Amino acid sequence: MTKSTFVNGVDRQKLFGTIEAIKANASTANFQFRLFNQWVSGGENRSRVDDYRGADEEMRHSRPFFLINDQPNVLMSGDIAPNPVEYLLHALAGCLTTALVYHAAAQGIEVGSVTTRFEGDLDLRGFLGLSHEVRRGCKAIRAVFTIVAECSEAKKRELIEIAQKHSPVFDMVTNGVPVTCTLAQSRMQTAA
């Protein structure tokens, strides 16, 4: 390799090793991410992220992570944390950025900085069930990237294309995923 093994903070040796391992055994590519959420009151609820499945093994994060959803006062809650739509934008921003930076590293392109600005337009009539013509989610999301890197504007645009082409969250948010919601088997439950 002509580049140092770390580019953009990504260990290229490990990245190429992962790619070889998956080429040799596709089941290593199967991941399952999990989350446990508990309602608190009004628009407040909390999630715990801990175990996941990856590379054919049960795994655990370095520690459990706790996340809080809330709604602003104008949406009738205490405004102690971002709301779910803002978390969706955070997921989207993070995944596109990671896809951009990892694929740039694979190509040996050193990136100095990436900053993004996201906006999503939401008509509350959907959530409230006040209109059948209005969708419940955002009708559009816009992202503007500012990239500092030793490459041309054209190459920066290409990196943004590569990010969109490979980001799992971008795929889910733009193309949709089947989500199945069920009620747990009935038995006596104690309130937490």
Site for a copy of itself in 143-182 (CB under 8 A): 143-148, 153, 156-157, 160, 163-182
DSSP-derived pairing of the beta strands 57-69 and 44-54: antiparallel
Binding of a copy of itself at residue 18 (CB under 8 A)?
yes
Applying CB under 8 A, what is the total number of residues that bind a copy of itself? 138
Q: Which is nearer to a copy of itself, 2 or 67 (CB)?
A: 67
Among 58, 62, 132, 150, binds a copy of itself (CB under 8 A): 62
Q: Does 3 help bind a copy of itself (rule: CB under 8 A)?
A: no
Using CB under 8 A as the binding rule, the residues of this chain from 69 to 108 that contact a copy of itself are 69, 71-77, 79-99, 101-103
Q: At what angle do helices 168-175 and 84-106 cross, to 10 degrees?
A: 130
With tokens 């999503």, the residue in question is 120
Cβ proximity to a copy of itself: between 2 and 192 the closer is 192
- Residue 24 within binding range of a copy of itself, rule CB under 8 A: no
Contact 59, 51 (CB under 8 A): yes
Please give the Cα distance from 55 to 167 (Å, whole number). Answer: 19
Between CA 25 and CA 39 the distance in angstroms is 40
